[in-house]
A and B are shown apart, each in its own frame.
Chain A
Amino acid sequence: MDINDGEEEDFEFSRNYFLAKELAGSGKKSTRKISDINVVDEQELRAAAANIELKHEKEINSLVNSYKSLYPKWVFELRCGFGLLMYGFGSKKVLIEDFASTALTEYSVVVINGYLQSINLKQVVIALAEIWWEELKTKRRTSSGVSSKFQQPFNSQSMDDLLAFLHESDVEENDSFVCIVVHNIDGPGLRDSESQQYLARLASCSHIRIVASIDNVNAPLLWDKKMVHTQFNWFWYHVPTFAPYNVEGIFFPLILAHSSTAQSAKTAAIVLQSLTPNAQSVFKILAEYQLSHPDEEGMPVDALYTTARERFLVSSQVTLNSHLTEFKDHELVKTRRHSDGQDCLHIPLAADALEKLLSEINQ
């Protein structure tokens, strides 16, 4: 999870200092591989995650409960027109939702789960407009029959119109708003600047208040001064909870389980298992050749054809080619041009991954 992913070279400069210092201090770098760890299967890991017993559950609960005394203050600040921004280590999802459902009962609350991969903000704004519309209707039924120039349906209206509706200033009562809770406003689905701009404009609407949480240390880089000072109008709160990121972490690739060897061998195995036994055997020839000739560019096509034909796996060049096309489509095999001009076939997997793969399809 890095916001400034990309030019590694850019980082090198500033890092040289640390690198040099590090190398001078501790001798040579460790070269041990991740594959040396007996990595547990990803599904098993995810399953285990649910059962991990929380350390210090009591203390964490009392820590989270201690924030309850701040609820009146938070409400006060929301009513003053601020947006609340919660940060600190630990999942703040439960805390914020508890705050919203106990202290903000007077206001409608919409929750956005920013940790999800894709969020359609337009849909959110439409929902907000509908809620606000209904609140206005009940309010106006009791007072006067003022009609808004904005008419339903909201579905067909543009974002600008919807935001203008939520920002309409001619409502008598100032202290009425819809609150949006954004878990992980720095999450993957909201991290692009367009979403942030929409969120900022949304937050600046007079009938919207925002309570958001961030977890990434670099989250403030998402906002310029206009957004921070005039639109979001953040009131920062440091509320570490140390609660596990159960939901937030679902869509994060696990470093260990996701390590390339295990993962690529696994995907390859899945593809191979869907192929015919003959095709699998052809692949095996290729894999075995590659393992026994690690220094070569790959297996010449002719050699493969000869071997496959000897083992009665293919009857003609055409059948072999159809297998090869299948392999190439799934990126199981790549063609390389040998130095003597011959086409060679090569499996783009490291030796250890290949061994793992072979053992898997042999089962």
Chain B
Amino acid sequence: MAPSATASESLSPSTTLDTTENNLQPFFVLHRARSRKSEKKPTGTWKTRRRIDLSPSLPKNGENLDAEKAEAWDDCRHVSIRMEAFDDVWSKIKSTIKDVLRDINTNVFNEIHHWVRESFNMITSFATPTFPEATGSFPIVTDAASKQLFTGLVLTKNMEFVDDLLTFEELGSYLRSQGCHVANLSSMEFSVKNGIGGCLRSLLRQFLMVTLDAADVSILATWYREQGSCNNPVVIIIEDMERCSGSVLSDFILMLSEWVLKIPVVLIMGVATTLDAPKSILQSNALHHLCPCKFILGTPPERMDAVVEAVLVKQCSGFGISHKVAVFMRNYFVSQDGTITSFIRALKIVCAQHFFMEPLSFMLCFLLGDDNLMLQGEKYGLSPEMMLKHALNLPSYQSYGRNKIAKQHGETLVNGLAELKKLQCQWSIVILCLYEAGKCDKVTLLDLFCEALDPESFKSRAPDNGGGLENDSGVSSSDCYNHQQYHTTPNSGFICQAVKKLRDLPAVQLRKLLKGWEKYTMNVPQIHDKVKKLLSEVKFEDGKSLGQDLSTISKRHASRKHLKIEDSKAVNEKAAKLLESMVRNYMQPLECVPFHEIVCFKNVNALQTALIGDPRRRIQVDLLDVRNIIRCSCCISSSNTLLPSMHDSSIMYTLAQEHGDLINLHDWYQSFKSIVICLSNKGKHGSNYSPSLKKRKATTEPAKPSEASIQYPIVTELQITGLLRMPSKRRPDYVQRVAFGL
């Protein structure tokens, strides 16, 4: 291991001798961490000093404000404040997501635990080995019935196993908390290469905390007897059964079934496809040892809605995203990736970028509490003037806020943020009410959420615009994000759909729905009262039928249809009108609120480039469009012709575009050469060159680039990018193009 290399001060492609040596090491230590003690000290003292002489130093701060301003926000101190804020916010979001996903599975987990206990009792009822029997290094031989292996097949209903990793981890810790001995295995352990030893080693690692080269199941049996109480089952969770090697898994099952009396194992396997999966993967002799039981997890859209509700609608952290970002994330989920994991990752990217880019984003942390914001900023060494100046320059304040809030002092920001918080709260209540109504029509919260964020449709809905919901165009604002437009046509947005659904809801459901609304609107008296009033009307109307089930109600409805129908319609209409007015008056999207930049991330392009790298396209664009990227004066002038001054690989690749999938190396090289040599020649004669260049000796003319220097760049760089396949034995004179079109 080499000692640390010196840090180069300026960037240049040339390499020093020291680094060339390192270049040929498989790995080396670039440098060791510099002790951070020395750096931390000043920050610490700085903080305390600032806290002590807080008020007297204020005016002084204002003087050199302008000079400071430019770099102030990039100061590492400020960045670290925002870093802390990010940590706070993200850990809040993360734990919320975890809780939500766990809650969704609570019932299934309980069910599984119940079944595990039952299975364990069954196993112990077959036979209980005596101690010497149990510690012997061979299985107990009994009848076939006692060789049954209880297997829980957990249907994940999701081909993307990555979303279920967390679920199985949670399941493991849940069962562990109930006293079971749990080990989680993944398909990685069931590879043909490692064989059954791989799974055993992993089991021993997890149960015994040791790594043994000679893994043997008898060690596990001895451990089970010796670890004290034998009243708890051993649960082995295999996360993704379909991805395991069938033969290894079969062997594993056979082995466990032999030993099941000594080690009371219960198997739990995640199944992504159907219940038939074990049949197609396992060998038949293993299959008939299984005693399966089925469990079903929530579907991805269900989980998605739960996550959206907790994180983005109820805003556990106060952090929000803009309409465009939301639509992008929705489209990415629906049509590209389909995993909640990637949605969460996108959210994290968004969050990180927001905290890096927005200087005042640290205020998010205080937005949830009732602290005086300005004072908090002060504690971190930010002058109120600076914060205020930045805040008042935010475009949202410039466009929305200025006419409403005339005075520009510290209060503005504090009030503005309080207002923002209030509006956000109302906004989320309306969405939840809409969701409650739309649920019966299978409207997903994610769709509603995206639509509700759209500032355009909010503006068109606004009372002074005269537009109601009916002529609301949904989320079809024209500049909406790229690939896929919302599949909505005017008048058929999800909000409209939810309201429409409300109109033909049966009375019982309507009552249930209003009950839900009552709960949601608890904190907004204006709406709450209306909901209550409506609820009392429904109650009055349906007074006698309380406690009856749906079927009798519908029968009753059928018999008294003609009498009742108009009344109930009237209530439905009222509810719909209420919802419409809620949408109109209280559902103000985040982007229409002053100061929203502080809490809201809007840069959809930044998210897209960070989330989805597109090397296949981008690298080709780099090559074809090099002059725009390096912006050199000599090449940019001519638009389409190839110039010798251009980057070699770029010339090569542009030339390659003229060929089919096979490129004749000879032709390609000649055309490249003719372009490159053109350079020196034009200077001398200005005449065009014939393609039969190779007869001339390049070395005789010193101005010309040597043959070697022309030949070297050819292809090597394109090979590295993987855009070409090397000549094969069958086609020694051709390279193959790999990419066609961008």
Query: Which residues of A are interface residues toward B (Cβ below 8 A)?
Result: 1-3, 5, 8, 15, 18-19, 21-23, 26, 29-34, 36-40, 44-49, 51-52, 54-57, 59-61, 63-65, 68, 72-73, 76-77, 79-82, 85, 87-91, 93-95, 97-98, 100-102, 105-113, 116, 118-120, 123-124, 127, 131, 135, 138, 142, 158, 160-161, 174-176, 178, 181, 189, 197, 214-220, 224-226, 228-230, 233-238, 240, 242-249, 252-257, 259-261
Contact = CB atoms under 8 A, between A and B. Distances in A.
Interface stretch (B4-12, B101-109, B409-417, B491-499): B4-12
B17 interface: no
A38 B707 contact: yes
A64 B345 contact: no
A65 B646 CA distance: 20
B722 A111 contact: no
A158 B619 contact: no
Given A82-B352, A216-B720, 10 more contacts: A32-B667, A80-B352, A111-B29, A113-B23, A119-B26, A214-B615, A215-B721, A216-B722, A217-B620, A230-B165
Contacts of B87: 174
Contacts of A106: 33-34, 36, 39
Contact of A61 (B1, B11, B32): B11
Contacts of A39: 711
Interface in B61-84: 74, 76, 79, 83
Contact of B728 (A8, A18, A29): A8
Given A45-B712, A255-B719, A34 B733 contact: yes
A21 to B, nearest CB: 8
B610 A37 contact: no
A124 B623 CA distance: 34
Interface string B126-139: 00000000000000
8 contacts: A22-B660, A72-B74, A101-B30, A108-B31, A111-B30, A113-B27, A116-B24, A242-B647
B161 interface: yes
B649 to A, nearest CB: 7
Interface string B237-251: 000000000000000
A3 B25 CA distance: 24
Given A135-B33, A244-B717, A255-B719, A233 B622 contact: no
Contact of A160 (B211, B659, B725, B738): B211
A79 B352 CA distance: 10
B211 A30 contact: no
Contacts of A142: 37
Contact of B11 (A30, A64, A88): A64
Contact of A215 (B345, B610, B720): B720
Contact of B722 (A3, A45, A59, A160): A3
A23 B37 CA distance: 69
Contact of A19 (B162, B660, B728): B660
Contact of A217 (B15, B24, B619): B619
A86 to B, nearest CB: 9
A248 B716 CA distance: 10
B622 A88 contact: yes
Interface in B35-93: 35-37, 39, 74, 76, 79, 83, 86-87, 90
B29 A245 contact: no
Contacts of B540: none
A229 B339 contact: yes
A87 B615 contact: yes
A196 B539 CA distance: 63
A254 B715 CA distance: 8
Interface in B598-628: 609-613, 615-616, 618-620, 622-623, 626
B211 to A, nearest CB: 5
B458 interface: no
A59 B635 CA distance: 12
A242 B630 contact: yes
B708 A131 contact: no
Contacts of B6: 101
Contact of A54 (B13, B19, B618): B13
| The 7 A-B residue pairs with the shortest CB-CB distance in the complex, in nearest-first order | A22-B660, A236-B613, A48-B708, A101-B7, A216-B722, A89-B622, A32-B666
A317 to B, nearest CB: 35
A61 B712 contact: no
B522 interface: no
Nearest to B630: A59
Contacts of B348: 80-82
B720 A249 contact: yes
Nearest to A23: B660
Contacts of B205: 160
B83 A76 contact: yes
A34 B728 CA distance: 13
Contact of B13 (A1, A94, A100, A197): A94
Given A94-B12, A256-B715, A77 B356 contact: yes
B660 A94 contact: no
A18 B661 contact: yes
Given A15-B661, A101-B5, A124 B722 contact: no
A89 B11 contact: no
B669 A109 contact: no
Contact of B29 (A47, A131, A224): A131
A265 B485 CA distance: 61
B26 A226 contact: no
A311 B722 CA distance: 53
A18 B660 contact: yes
Contact of B720 (A15, A34, A230, A248): A248
Contact of B669 (A37, A97, A252): A37
Given A3-B722, A225-B337, A225-B341, A256 B669 contact: yes
Given A160-B211, A236-B609, A249-B720, A256 B33 contact: no
A142 B352 CA distance: 31
Nearest to B735: A255
A63 B11 contact: no
A162 to B, nearest CB: 11
Nearest to B337: A225
A88 B622 CA distance: 7
Nearest to A186: B722
Nearest to B22: A111
B375 interface: no
B619 A249 contact: no
A45 B711 contact: yes
Contacts of A89: 619, 622-623, 626, 649, 717, 721
Nearest to B615: A87
A123 B98 CA distance: 36
A215 B32 CA distance: 28
A34 B11 CA distance: 39
Given A34-B732, A38-B707, A98-B8, A243 B13 contact: yes
Interface in B655-696: 659-662, 664-667, 669-670, 694
Contact of A247 (B23, B211, B339, B615): B23
B666 A36 contact: yes
Nearest to A100: B30
A249 B716 contact: yes
A77 B352 contact: yes
A260 B632 contact: no
A57 B632 CA distance: 10
Contacts of A57: 13
Contact of B24 (A8, A23, A82, A113): A113
Contacts of B610: 235-237
Contacts of A46: 712
A135 B713 CA distance: 44
B31 A158 contact: no
Contact of B712 (A34, A48, A189): A48
B661 A19 contact: yes
B165 A55 contact: no
B29 A108 contact: yes
Contacts of B162: 224-226, 229-230
